[in-house]
Amino acid sequence: MPVETDMYLWSKQVVALTVWALACFLGTSVARAQTIHFSVKNVALKSGETIEVGDVYLISADCRSLLTGTPEVEVMDGPPGVAVAIKQAMVVPRGYGCAKAISGGKLMITANGIEDYSHTRMILRIKYKTREGDRLRSEHINVTLFP
């Protein structure tokens, strides 16, 4: 009898340990899947400066541009004296493994008439013109301005 009891306790412990390990493994994978990451760019400008923030494009899975025209940008919220524009350009979306240049644009920010130091979050809305219609996307940029 003692051998059967020890075997029974040992198998019970193995099952409990397996269930615990499975719960830990599944619990952490679910938490990672629910994580949302927003990337925010930081920009510092002196009065009178223009800076290129990044490339603007919309591509398909085979690295072809989906744009029918140059994207447009609108400032939804931001500091006075700061202008934003998209300059038409050929860009290479290397982050997606593409090697050829496609039609797109360069996002440019210009600061003019800045009299005081300030730090503000700027919210932009970018309009991508496609065959299926316009697609809108927002971009958040922390802007630090110097006179």
Residue 33 pLDDT grade (very low, low, confident, very high; cuts 50, 70, 90): very low
Residue 100 pLDDT grade (very low, low, confident, very high; cuts 50, 70, 90): very high
Q: Could you read off the pLDDT of 45-90 as tens digits, one per residue?
A: 999 999 999 999 999 888 889 999 999 999 999 999 999 999 999 9
d(CA 31, CA 20): 17
Which residues are within 8 A (CB) of 116 and not within 5 positions of it... i.e. 6 or more apart? 145, 147
Tell which residue, 95, 97, 119, 100, has the closest CA to residue 45.
119
Tell which residue, 39, 47, 104, has the closest CA to residue 81.
47
Highest mean pLDDT pick, 7-16, 88-97, 124-133? 124-133
- Domain 41-146 sits in CATH at 2.60.40
